[in-house]
Chains A and B, each alone.
Chain A
Amino acid sequence: MSTLPMKSGLLGIVLASLVATGAMSADTTIGVSFDKIEPFRVAQKKAIEDAAKAAGVKVDFANADKDAQRQASQVDTMVSNKDAAIVAIPWDIEAAVNLAVTSIAAGIPFVSMDQAPADLKAVTYHIGGDPCTDGKVAGEYFVKAAAGKPFKLLELQGGLANDNGIKRSKCLNNAFVGHDNIKVVAQVPTDWNPEKALAGTENAMQAHPDLNGIYAPWNDALQGIFPVLKAKNVLLPVGDPKHIIIVSIDGTPLGCKAVKDRLIDLEIATPVPEMAKRAIDAAVKAANKQTISPQTEYLPGIPYGPDNVAEMAPKIWGCQS
């Protein structure tokens, strides 16, 4: 065992980073608790690790795997470990409020990311996407594409009980006010599950074979949509007269590929690296007792389509791979 060289190597890194970051030492650890692990979260995790590296801090990562209880015990552990700050993507938006309160009471800043807790004032800082703007942009696109003609739209819904799901739906529909030519023929709840998106699309197309558009408020829904369109021989590129207009949100590799393949018309990509950077920066700042202003920030998604994907790609995280 060659522990000695390794130890001295580590020591070297520690010393070097101490010099580099000045006030912040490299043994500063920020606890990170994710609600679940899926491709989108994997990208966020990587972005957080990159941002932490840039800020010269370590992250202590935990996955609650869709369990509020588990997330609570993870946060408790981070508090008792005296992590410098906590960055969390809440699973249960109500329970997250309590987690923030207890953590802050123990003197540890609590930053929520992506998913907004029920009470935003409870957290030290929140950085999220802007689901309402994303929904609105999608809605406006459909309005423009319909160009005043009758337009039948299938709306797949993510979660009915979480912020992203609710606002992506509500603000889409708000954009249709005054445009009676747009008819949402079905709103299909899916619990963010691609299999349910598949069955829902299958069933909606059974009832409305003349569907004009589909709203897929998260990229994984595309996995459910494409097999159905293919089976019905309407999986056609943008521009084809029988093409069904699809707008999706997220900006994952799956979404980027669909845009590049000209299968979807518009994709609204969440600025993942930026979100992670702001979360980590705020956490580091708060750990150093600096004030953070504004306390809440929302980052609207970056819209892109088949025609501008080449020039937009550098800004879209899902187009990097």
Chain B
Amino acid sequence: MISARVRALENARQQLGLMLIIAIVAIGFTLQTIRFADAENLRNILLQASATTIAAIGMTFVLAARGIDLSVGSIANLTIALAVALAGTPLPAELSTATDALVYPVVIVFGIVLGLVNGALVNLSGVSALIITLGTLTLYRGLALHLTKASLIPLTGAILSFARTEVLGIDLPIWSMGFATVLGWYVLARMPIGRLVLAVGGSPRSATETGIAVWRVRAFVFALSGFCAAVSGLISVGRVGVLNSDLGFGFEFTVITAVALGGTSLFGGRASVVGTVLGAMLLTVIQNGLNLIGADPYIYDVVRGGILLGAVSIDAFVRGQRPMAVQMSD
């Protein structure tokens, strides 16, 4: 039997490995330009990582429960479009503060509702989440296009404040990211629902036999992912200041990459919120650093691909010693 302590150390080692890679990459960029390493750039990195990180924390729960949510970008887009259509008004002149404040409940509620629709479809149809959310990816996006008529909507008022408010000198998106990290970690690692998510993802059959309400756990993870996607939509739209039809396009790839990089299994049952956050950080640091050093645009994908492969290989190396040991008993 492998002792619990060895196991805990091993999990920590995986995250340490990711931290090490981030550190190496960061040192590499700092050697190129000292401006990578100042406080202002740290703020840039955290701000630029916030939307991805928050959506990725939601995605971590979905993957942990052996699901996947491809519709995150579309949820971000549609919830903002709904907020603009229902509560906000695009033109400053017509803006009334009474409805303006409604944008937050609208975004949050619809984020959860759209997530629940995903969950309900997966539960009721028995079709894989991949197919269902591929469908809602298109559906939600189509609805958003319909609402906005694909036009560019300049935004003002409350809907932008979320991304543009500072609390104690730190931007609200950064606070939210920190809050989501701590809360996500706590829910997954400490709360019963987190354990049930891993149980359902680890073995749906065992979960059913144990009397766990699998459908409820699935609904929870998709609702959570929808909520997180909506919040990340608020951040993106707040930063850019306009709603355009491109908002959230291809977002799912970045998000899933961050989660997978963090060591969460794409096949369920194994997940790490801290790993996800580190994964999102690594992606952002690479992008930020390449921008900073004025890298050749054609080299971006090469560097990104290379570092990702490196990270995954190191992870595989850390885990590689395991299979032999599994059978051992004492």
**A-side interface residues toward B, CB under 8 Å?**
37-39, 41-42, 65-66, 157, 160, 184-189, 191-195, 198-200, 202-204, 206-207, 220, 223-224, 226-227, 252-254
Contacts and interface: CB of A to CB of B under 8 A. Distances in A.
A65 B33 CA distance: 40
B241 A227 contact: yes
23 contacts: A37-B245, A38-B152, A39-B245, A42-B150, A65-B138, A157-B297, A186-B292, A186-B294, A186-B295, A187-B296, A188-B291, A188-B297, A189-B297, A195-B236, A195-B247, A199-B44, A199-B287, A203-B41, A203-B287, A206-B40, A206-B44, A207-B36, A207-B294
A194 B77 CA distance: 14
Interface in B18-45: 33, 35-36, 40-41, 44
A38 B47 CA distance: 27
Given A185-B294, A203-B288, A220 B152 contact: yes
Given A187-B294, A199-B48, A206-B41, 14 more contacts: A38-B152, A38-B244, A65-B141, A185-B294, A193-B246, A195-B240, A195-B247, A199-B44, A206-B292, A207-B36, A220-B152, A220-B246, A223-B241, A227-B239
Contact of B151 (A42, A160, A192, A199): A42
A188 B36 CA distance: 16
Contacts of B250: 191
B207 interface: no
Contact of A198 (B138, B145, B240): B240
A184 B287 CA distance: 18
A198 B294 contact: no
Interface of B: 33, 35-36, 40-41, 44, 47-48, 138, 141, 145, 149-152, 236, 239-242, 244-247, 249-250, 287-288, 291-298, 300
B150 A199 contact: no
Given A42-B151, A188-B297, A220-B152, A204 B292 contact: yes
Contacts of A191: 250
B300 A189 contact: yes
Contacts, number: 97
Contact of A38 (B246, B294, B296): B246
Given A186-B294, A204-B292, A207-B292, A37 B239 contact: no
A194 B249 CA distance: 11
B91 to A, nearest CB: 13
B298 to A, nearest CB: 7
A287 B80 CA distance: 44
A41 B241 contact: no
A66 B152 CA distance: 18
Given A223-B241, A223-B242, A223-B244, A42 B149 contact: yes
Contacts of A254: 152
A202 to B, nearest CB: 5
B297 A206 contact: no
A194 B244 contact: yes
A39 B296 contact: no
A55 B149 CA distance: 26
A188 B249 CA distance: 18
A188 B246 CA distance: 18
A114 to B, nearest CB: 16
A252 B152 CA distance: 10
A220 to B, nearest CB: 6
A134 to B, nearest CB: 19
B244 A39 contact: yes
A276 to B, nearest CB: 17
Contacts of B152: 38-39, 220, 223, 252-254
A225 B33 CA distance: 22
| 3 A-B pairs with the lowest CB-CB distances in the bound complex, closest first | A203-B291, A186-B294, A37-B150
